[in-house]
Chain A
Amino acid sequence: MSSEIKGGKILKQAKDQLGFYQELGLNQQITIIRFSPPEGELDPIQLAKYEAARFSTEHKVKTFTALGCKVNQHYLDYYTSPNQFQAILKQANDDSVGIIVQNPFADRLQSSLKLIDFEKDLDGMRGDNPYFFVSATSETIFRIVEPFVQENDVVAVVGARGFVGGGVVKLLEEQGINTLGLDYGDDLLQTRNANIVVSATGVPELIDERHITPEHRLVVDSGFVPLADSQILGDVNRSAYDIPQNITPVPGGVGPFQMATLMERLVTQVTGQGIERWQCPIPSEKEQSIAQKSIETPGQIWERYQQSINIKDPSEQIQAIASQMFLDGVNPETAKAGLLVSFSLKNEPEEAQQLVFQVIDHTWKDMDRKINKVLKFANKKATQKGTRVGDDQIFESKNYIICQSSTSISIEAKDNRGVILTGNSEGISLNGFSREDIQRFDKWQQKSKERQRPQSRRSRQSRDRDIDFER
């Protein structure tokens, strides 16, 4: 299993650290401009790009609001003329400390971006900005990649002729890092010869197990394609997620890091002060050793779990292993594949295996539901009972500290596990979260409910539910 490089903690740290500058941001305005798709656009991938712009705008609004800024949003028609666009940019120059124009937008407007004052061009849209000479996403990707680069490494950048990929190539080459720029029309299998792969194409699932190898130290996926069925896809197909040693997942990978970069850019620009920059966490040796196990076959992974969970009843064992695999972020397909080849079940008839698959599917859904329930409860607790600290609501219980900010919620365990759950609009990330945590939260929720209703109304059914869950 690969180590996932997630940005949630970095963003939270950036907010905690840069929250100090909140007052400096008061009464300052940021302008964010995005566009509607053209009339008659039917291509789901193109439409998803506009939807991604909406997501990104929402995150930026939350991020800048956390710094005390007011965000002025313009949602413009695709058919906006350069005259109209330039008038908006001129106005924004007058009343904002930062201006961001969300991709995609029509090429006819590209050259008008030079009207944005250098110091206000937070996302490096101009392309000739001495302060921000690449986009925030490009800088973010570079800063994720840099700590992983070793001597003579080659970094492949897919999408090298694009706005984001081009910026990454520029920064890598400036640092003398061997860069292999690939784009439309090139043989993408060349990524196999690189040590690190960056994909910045916006083409969902373009990169898969043909392009990624276990020797890849890091894969950075900067794609974000929200489809109509609520699915969010990256450039990298899920089938390749378990192959490299480290990967930035979508969602939850590059996105939060990028928000932290934008916060830094804004604070630097407004205050003129140098600030401590976020650093990408390199997985510890322990985490790296776990990552090495990514080379394990699904069967070996399954057997490892079997050894760690000492339940004899086969169906309960499957359920327990499946739920632990879910919490550890194992792909359900890997779980199923592992089951197929695991010693204990390989002699079972096909029907029995189908049944086991159903158990896994059910467990996955059930765990998903339970975690969302925990998140909802934690959210409620922090909102209703928490103490306000800066922009955050903090609630402390016997075993946990719940911290709810404007953009995310995190649950920290008071034992030595640290932050075990982080949730934001990009998704939920778990780190050491266990079934015991779910049980504790469930009990806690039940007790809260009990306290809210008269003792006499406590139903037998409710008590039975407690018992069922404990069992």
Chain B
Amino acid sequence: MISKEVIATQQLSPVVETIFHWQADDPSHCLLRIFVDKQAQQAYVVASKLNGDHPSKNSITENFGKIAQAVCKEYSSLLNLERINHVTWIAHYGLFSVPQSYENLGEQDDFSRIDIPWPLPTKLPSLGGEWTVLRPLAQEQLASKILLESVEAVVERESRVQ
């Protein structure tokens, strides 16, 4: 049996961790984290929705296709076909995605996997592909593979840097 400590050491750390603006002409941003498993030639791309953008216009849900394309363009050297043979796309929501209001207290972390063909087709639907919302067990499995620091902590660190 593998102990939790062993699992923890196997977690991938992000190679990219940034506030990512996926379209220049219309303000829209998310917290982008990319994890690469060189051995398995796999990448995990996690886009966390941040509160602030217009909820329906610039949501990461409706723009996941655009986000995927912008990420691949921006990080083409990292996410290229020679090095990566599979990308797991994750959309992430939580308390950090909504206004700080009594109404939103209790908002849980919520992860969805979006199935997008690799290599990326030139055209993608607005949702990017078929979404599978991860249930608690699947979330645990994801968390055992990649090291996801709290969004609030990362955003605070990023904003200090900027």
Question: Do A and B originate from a single complex?
Answer: yes
**Is A165 within 8 A of B101, CB to CB?**
yes
Q: A112 vs B144: C-alpha distance in the bound complex, in angstroms?
A: 31
- How far does the Cβ of B141 sit from chain A's closest Cβ, in whole Å? 14
Give the interface SS of chain A, mostly helix, strand, loop or mixed.
loop
Q: A39 vs B140: C-alpha distance in the bound complex, in angstroms?
A: 13
B12 within 8 A of A: no
- How far does the Cβ of A115 sit from chain B's closest Cβ, in whole Å? 10
Which of B97, B108, B132 has the most C-beta atoms of chain A within 10 angstroms of its own C-beta? B108
Q: Which B residues are CB-close (under 8 A) to A128?
A: 56
Residue of A nearest to B138 (CB): A79
The contact of B49 among A107, A127, A184, A200, by CB within 8 Å, is: A107
Q: Which A residues are CB-close (under 8 A) to B24?
A: none
**Is B130 within 8 A of A162, CB to CB?**
no
B4 within 8 A of A: no
B105 within 8 A of A: yes
A278 within 8 A of B: no
Q: A49 vs B99: C-alpha distance in the bound complex, in angstroms?
A: 18
B residues 107-155 in Cβ contact with A at 8 Å: 107-108, 110, 112, 127, 130-136
Q: A40 vs B139: C-alpha distance in the bound complex, in angstroms?
A: 13
**Is A111 within 8 A of B106, CB to CB?**
no
**Is B102 within 8 A of A184, CB to CB?**
yes
A227 within 8 A of B: no
Stretch in contact with the other chain, from A201-209, A267-275, A377-385, A403-411? A201-209
Stretch in contact with the other chain, from A80-88, A142-150, A172-180, A299-307? A80-88
Per-residue B-contact encoding for A1-44, CB less than 8 Å = 1, 0 else: 00000000000000000000000000000000000001111010
How extensive is the interface on chain B, given as a class? Answer: 20 to 34
B69 within 8 A of A: no
Per-residue B-contact encoding for A84-115, CB less than 8 Å = 1, 0 else: 00100000000000000000001111111110
**Is A184 within 8 A of B131, CB to CB?**
no
**Is A162 within 8 A of B62, CB to CB?**
no
**Is B110 within 8 A of A108, CB to CB?**
yes
Q: Which A residues are CB-close (under 8 A) to B105?
A: 45, 184, 203
A130 within 8 A of B: no
B103 within 8 A of A: yes
**Is B102 within 8 A of A203, CB to CB?**
yes
Residue of A nearest to B108 (CB): A38
Size of the A side of the interface (Cβ < 8 Å), in residues, is 43
- How far does the Cβ of A247 sit from chain B's closest Cβ, in whole Å? 19
**Is B61 within 8 A of A83, CB to CB?**
no
The contact of B91 among A108, A112, A114, by CB within 8 Å, is: A108
Q: Which A residues are CB-close (under 8 A) to B91?
A: 108
Q: A41 vs B110: C-alpha distance in the bound complex, in angstroms?
A: 13
Residue of A nearest to B100 (CB): A184
B residues 51-85 in Cβ contact with A at 8 Å: 55-57, 59, 61-62
With A164-B103, A165-B103: A107-B56 Cβ-Cβ less than 8 Å: no
**Is B131 within 8 A of A110, CB to CB?**
no
**Is A108 within 8 A of B93, CB to CB?**
yes
**Is B133 within 8 A of A108, CB to CB?**
yes
With A81-B131, A126-B56: A108-B112 Cβ-Cβ less than 8 Å: yes
**Is B132 within 8 A of A81, CB to CB?**
yes
Which of A39, A108, A162, A206 has the most C-beta atoms of chain B within 10 angstroms of its own C-beta? A108
B9 within 8 A of A: no
With A79-B133, A81-B130, A83-B130: A111-B103 Cβ-Cβ less than 8 Å: no
Which residues of A are at the interface with B, using a C-beta cutoff of 8 A?
38-41, 43, 45-46, 49, 78-83, 86, 106-114, 126-128, 158-165, 183-185, 200-203, 206
Between A and B, 5 residue pairs with Cβ closer than 8 Å are: A38-B110, A39-B135, A45-B105, A127-B56, A184-B102
Known contacts A107-B107, A184-B105, A201-B103; 5 additional CB pairs below 8 A are A82-B61, A83-B130, A107-B93, A126-B56, A162-B103
Which residues of B are at the interface with A, using a C-beta cutoff of 8 A?
49, 55-57, 59, 61-62, 91, 93, 97-108, 110, 112, 127, 130-136
